[in-house]
Chains A and B, each alone.
Chain A
Amino acid sequence: MTTSSRRPDEGEARDAAHWAPIMEKLRVSGVPEEALSLNVEGRRVLGPLQGFGKMWQKTYRVRLSGSAATPTEVIKTWKENFPKFWGAPRGNRFYAPITGIAPGEVAVLNLGAGPMKLSTGVMVLYADDESFTLMTPQGHMLAGWITFSSFEEEGCTVAQAQEYFRGQDPLSEIALALVGHNMQEKLWEQTLRSLAAHFGVEGQPQMLVTCVDPKRQWSEAKNLWHNAAIRSMLYTVSAPARWMARPFKRLKR
């Protein structure tokens, strides 16, 4: 997997090549056959301002003490091995874009084991040599983005993941309060542990949680319409009907 950022044209801002281009709707391509790709194609991305629930900032960081890896090397490795380091429990899959973590690329996520899979995705909003950011589409449990970065602090390279998000709709907000926050924190702590282990460090991630805005945005409750959990479940339970309709579809052709 390679990551390439194009060189900015003359007169263009220095960061121009690092940002995703404007896209009205997401397009998914190059997804492996075994992946369930629902709830991403044709969706819009949502930032933390468009969500329903409280706005949170969560920062996870691990010090790569004793490692000679530079921030640039850490981010290059993280981009190239993102699905491998991704700390979700077994059965969950992160199908990275075939062209790698590059601005505007879309990844598909399959969450949950067995026949009941939740399908959603993320778009690469920003990527440079020392950071990259993933943004969620409509239907994802979260509305927001997460920035992965690396930098030097007191002579030590630090790897960091920082999320800014709201629960996307009322159902997601309830799920977050019940189990979501806990699962998510475990996921990113495990991700940082795996990344640190790659560099030969037994890292102990630290977490800082801030509620940026405690108010809920009831005007965004309408996001429930796109909820990927509901839509994935409906897709799964309607599988027998689709299976039975298949011969008729073939006849029509």
Chain B
Amino acid sequence: MPANRFEAGVRHQQGVAVIDLRGEVDAFADEALNAAYAEASSRDSACILLNFDGVDYINSTGIALIVGLLAQARTSHRRLLACGLSDHYLEVFQITRLADFLSIFPDEVSALANAPGSAEADS
């Protein structure tokens, strides 16, 4: 099966920086993921939402990259949220204990509705 190259796009939605992840989260995702995180955190969003809707593969190196983002978020006092995880990746986040530190939502709408500092949550 051909590799599905990783891409990450950033947009700002209701005061929350959303990073859309697509493809395979593995060692090759390092540069693109960190660049997207840097772009997302360049504005003063208190929350960054990782949208995993387009992700079809994560290996243990990919999980380590997410841990790195969590550490960066913690240092800069930002909340990191996740949405769009399939049942399988929800399990992966549980076994790796990432779920203890990330607020996980089924989809973007519910994540934005509950994100602290988002326009929707404030209203």
Task: Check: A82 CB closer than 8 A to any chain B CB.
Answer: no
Please report the C-alpha to C-alpha distance between residue A139 and residue B114 in the assembled complex, in whole angstroms: 36
Q: Which one of B86, B95, B98 has the highest number of Cβ atoms from chain A below 10 Å of its Cβ? A: B95
Task: Check: B59 CB closer than 8 A to any chain A CB.
Answer: yes
Q: How many A-B residue pairs have CB under 8 A?
A: 78
Cβ-defined contact, A213 with B59, below 8 A: no
Please report the C-alpha to C-alpha distance between residue A49 and residue B63 in the assembled complex, in whole angstroms: 12
Cβ-defined contact, B59 with A162, below 8 A: no
Cβ-defined contact, B74 with A213, below 8 A: yes
Cβ-defined contact, A49 with B97, below 8 A: yes
- What 1/0 mask marks residues of chain A from 1 to 28 whose CB sits below 8 Å from any chain B CB? 0000000000011111011111100000
Please report the C-alpha to C-alpha distance between residue A22 and residue B92 in the assembled complex, in whole angstroms: 8
Cβ-defined contact, A47 with B67, below 8 A: yes
Task: Check: B123 CB closer than 8 A to any chain A CB.
Answer: no
Cβ-defined contact, A50 with B60, below 8 A: no
Please report the C-alpha to C-alpha distance between residue A164 and residue B74 in the assembled complex, in whole angstroms: 16
- What 1/0 mask marks residues of chain B from 81 to 122 whose CB sits below 8 Å from any chain A CB? 000001011011011111011000000000000000000000
Known contacts A213-B71, A213-B74, A215-B74; A45 and B95 CB within 8 A of each other = yes
Distance (whole angstroms) from the CB of A154 to the closest CB of chain B: 16
Cβ-defined contact, A13 with B97, below 8 A: no
Q: Which residues in window 43-69 of B have CB below 8 A to A? A: 56-61, 63-64, 67-68
Cβ 8 A contact of A162, one of B1, B64, B74, B95? B64
What residues on A are CB-neighbors of B70 within 8 Å?
49
Please report the C-alpha to C-alpha distance between residue A23 and residue B67 in the assembled complex, in whole angstroms: 21
Task: Check: A70 CB closer than 8 A to any chain B CB.
Answer: no
Task: Check: A46 CB closer than 8 A to any chain B CB.
Answer: yes
Cβ-defined contact, A13 with B86, below 8 A: yes
Task: Check: A128 CB closer than 8 A to any chain B CB.
Answer: yes
Interface residues of B (CB under 8 A from A): 1, 27, 56-61, 63-64, 67-68, 70-71, 74-75, 86, 88-89, 91-92, 94-98, 100-101
Task: Check: A110 CB closer than 8 A to any chain B CB.
Answer: no
Cβ-defined contact, B75 with A213, below 8 A: yes
Cβ-defined contact, A15 with B91, below 8 A: no
Cβ 8 A contact of B96, one of A12, A55, A125, A151? A125
Distance (whole angstroms) from the CB of A150 to the closest CB of chain B: 11
Cβ-defined contact, B59 with A46, below 8 A: no
Please report the C-alpha to C-alpha distance between residue A164 and residue B86 in the assembled complex, in whole angstroms: 25
Interface residues of A (CB under 8 A from B): 12-16, 18-23, 45-50, 55, 57, 125-126, 128, 131-133, 135, 145, 147, 149, 151, 162, 164, 212-213, 215
Please report the C-alpha to C-alpha distance between residue A145 and residue B96 in the assembled complex, in whole angstroms: 9
Cβ-defined contact, B67 with A164, below 8 A: yes
- Other A-B contacts than A126-B60, A135-B96, A164-B67, 8 sampled, CB-CB below 8 A, are A16-B88, A19-B92, A23-B95, A49-B100, A125-B96, A145-B60, A162-B64, A213-B75
What residues on B are CB-neighbors of A21 within 8 Å?
91, 95
Name which residue of chain A comes closest to B4, CB basis: A14
Known contacts A15-B58, A49-B98, A50-B100; A22 and B91 CB within 8 A of each other = yes
Distance (whole angstroms) from the CB of B17 to the closest CB of chain A: 20
Cβ-defined contact, A45 with B68, below 8 A: no
Cβ-defined contact, A14 with B100, below 8 A: no
Please report the C-alpha to C-alpha distance between residue A47 and residue B60 in the assembled complex, in whole angstroms: 12
Please report the C-alpha to C-alpha distance between residue A22 and residue B89 in the assembled complex, in whole angstroms: 11
Cβ-defined contact, A125 with B71, below 8 A: no
